[in-house]
Amino acid sequence: MPRSKCSLILIFLFASLTNNLIAQINTSNEEVFARDRMIEHLFSITDVMVTDVTSPPGAARFYSYSLLAAYLVYSDAENLNEVPLIQHLQSPISKLDPTLNLEKEGINLAFASTYAMLEVGKNIMPSGKKLTSAQETLINQYSKKKLIRKKALKRSISYAEKIAAVVLNYVKEDGYRQLSTLKRYSPTKGHGRWYPTPPAYMAAIDPEWRTIRPFFLENLPSFSPPAPAEYSEDENSSFFTQLTEVYEVTTQLTEEQTLIANFWDCNPFNVSYSGHMAIGLKKISPGGHWMGITGIASQKAELGFEESLYIHTLVAMGLHDAFISCWDEKYRSDRIRPLTAINQLMDEAWRPILQTPPFPEYTSGHSVISKASAVLLTSYFGENFKFIDTSEVFFGLPEREFDSFLKASNEAAISRLYGGIHFRDAIEVGMQQGEKIANYILERTNSHQNRLIGATPNPVK
């Protein structure tokens, strides 16, 4: 073969390889861009929740339905009830309007997915209208990168709004609107029962949350934990022993224990007083903290948009169901908080370093949802996934490093003892409750083996 022809072939092959490489890099960059915009605007939803002082169960509900819309937009099934993960819901999504056009040609699915997430949040959150600016920012971000043209933008927004409407109709059936019609909760009189705590003495939050529709838990009583230690003033009883432990631990906290308590506080109802003025302190919800961890893990593992969306949606739905189960137990056992019991029986001047949240004590919500989230994340990313948790940096707390999700969940759980707001059995049994819920969800959704919409996760580096 003549040298000139050989050279031309080599040049052609080199050009082809270069073009393919550039295409792969561009695709990779687009995936990273899309993933990071989704995570960024999920925090836009978090920010609105913080402003609204959304309750922990309410926050999980907002996350799950917003991400459900995003997940459905990105799926490729014609029947939304056949989408992996969605097909396992205990209450199927209502039938689609036959006039609903699910044609995806000319649509930027990653953009539409994130737009739909914000659209649902905008319509179900009290201050959701603030997310309009986040949608405008999203449009500008994609347009500036030249990832979406005007025609595709219009089609993408229209498609996102159609799927969001389907989810919003599904939301209407979950029982939330009926909460205000139920009998108003009043603290039960008697020793060992929960009663509002200082400094704000707030009324009980979400006492009827057990009536909200779960995504996966079909038989709520089957996830009920054993009863807590019975209230007793006998110094040899289990209850009094645990009460003494809270008092002694909190009166001799180490610097590290204090840091741990504050890092996992996540109490959106925290109130401080300046004279006669009550000041609410901005804090993320417990579920918001774990959604933050999910985003951190997705970025560290270099997941693409699809995989990142899947694991965010799974964790959000797990949070939602875990809170329903936990709140079901809280208002059944209706147990007194350490603050009330210690003030009555041991030291009327004692105060925990964390402000006691306004609902009954058993089981520990942090313990339930942290273990549930950690089990779901471990099933996906592996047992020894190291990460640096920066979820609380925005709220003025330093980052913390963890060797695994399970170790992070264990620390979140014990932080409630250090903080002086939970007894040990509420923590330990709460972790068992969360693990049981997560394993049930994994079995129901066949998610034990990194089951995605149709992709395999990238290896963690």
What kind and span of H or E run contains 343?
Answer: helix 338-345
Q: What is the pLDDT of residue 446?
A: 79
Same domain, 35 and 144: yes
The answer to whether residue 268 sits within a structural domain is yes
> 269 falls in which pLDDT band (50, 70, 90)?
confident
Most confident of 7-11, 280-284, 307-311: 307-311
The answer to whether residue 199 sits within a structural domain is no
Same domain, 130 and 229: no
- List, for residues 171-203, the tens digit of each pLDDT value: 999 999 999 899 888 998 889 999 999 998 999
- List, for residues 72-87, the tens digit of each pLDDT value: 999 877 777 788 888 8
Asked if residue 173 lies in contact with residue 124, where contact means CB atoms within 8 angstroms, the answer is: no
Same domain, 244 and 324: yes
Same domain, 63 and 147: yes
Same domain, 167 and 246: no
Q: What is the pLDDT of residue 447?
A: 63
Final residue of a domain: which of 114, 148, 175? 175
Q: What is the pLDDT of residue 271?
A: 58
The answer to whether residue 325 sits within a structural domain is yes
Final residue of a domain: which of 143, 175, 207? 175
DSSP string, 143-168: HHTT---HHHHHHHHHHHHHHHHHHH
The answer to whether residue 229 sits within a structural domain is yes
In three-state secondary structure terms, 456 is coil
- List, for residues 400-423, the tens digit of each pLDDT value: 999 999 999 999 999 999 999 999
Same domain, 149 and 236: no
Same domain, 223 and 169: no
CATH of the domain at 118: 1.10.606.20
The answer to whether residue 7 sits within a structural domain is no
Same domain, 263 and 154: no
Q: What is the pLDDT of residue 75?
A: 87
The answer to whether residue 191 sits within a structural domain is no
Q: Is the pLDDT of residue 25 over 50?
A: no
Same domain, 162 and 232: no
Same domain, 385 and 294: yes
The answer to whether residue 149 sits within a structural domain is yes
- For 87, the domain range is 14-175
- List, for residues 289-302, the tens digit of each pLDDT value: 999 999 999 999 99
What long-range pairs does 39-43 form, CB within 8 A, spacing at least 24? 39/295, 39/298, 39/299, 39/308, 39/312, 41/114, 41/117, 41/118, 41/134, 41/137, 41/138, 42/66, 42/67, 42/117, 42/291, 42/295, 42/312, 43/292, 43/295
Same domain, 170 and 268: no
The rounded percent of the chain whose pLDDT value lies above 70 is: 86
Same domain, 292 and 386: yes
* Domain tally, the chain: 2
The answer to whether residue 334 sits within a structural domain is yes
